[in-house]
Amino acid sequence: MAIGFSPEPKELKFHALDYANTEAIQGLIRFYFGLKSDLDYKPNMEIVSVLADIANAIKNSGLTDKQKMALKLYMEGWTEEEIAQKQNITQQAVNKHIKLICKKLSNHLTK
């Protein structure tokens, strides 16, 4: 199942959402920060529910401190290369961190 949005710019609606899909989770965590920082956006209950699910999963999925920092930077829009430089690790390590984080979030959301 894939995630899709309605075409109206300020009226996002989820057509299908599969929390077991880690790629969808990765898209959601990028979307989460952007939406939370858009003060003009008035989310509907569906969006609020998804944001609450993601926030709860981040809080309760057992992320390490290093994973939390990588996630915070990723959600703010930093590239994997920038995160790698900031954390003094390789870009490949950041990519693995993000994939593992998404798997942990997915596991929390689907249990």
- State the pLDDT at residue 41: 64
With respect to residue 88, please indicate whether it lies within any of the assigned structural domains. yes
> Tens digit of pLDDT for each residue in 72-111?
999 998 999 999 999 999 999 999 999 999 999 999 999 8
With respect to residue 13, please indicate whether it lies within any of the assigned structural domains. no
> Tens digit of pLDDT for each residue in 59-72?
999 999 999 999 99
- Over the range 69-86, which residues count as b (16 or more CB within 10 Å of their CB) and which as e? ebbebbbeebebeebbee
**What's this model's pTM, rounded to 2 decimal places?**
0.76
DSSP symbol at 14: B
Q: Is a pLDDT exceeding 70 seen at residue 7?
A: no
- State the pLDDT at residue 39: 56
CA separation, residue 23 to residues 35, 87, 88 (Å): 18, 23, 25
Element (H, E) at 77: none
Assign residue 43 the CATH number of its domain: 1.10.10
Tell me the residue range of the domain where 75 lies: 22-110
At residue 82, φ and ψ (nearest 5 deg) are -65, -40
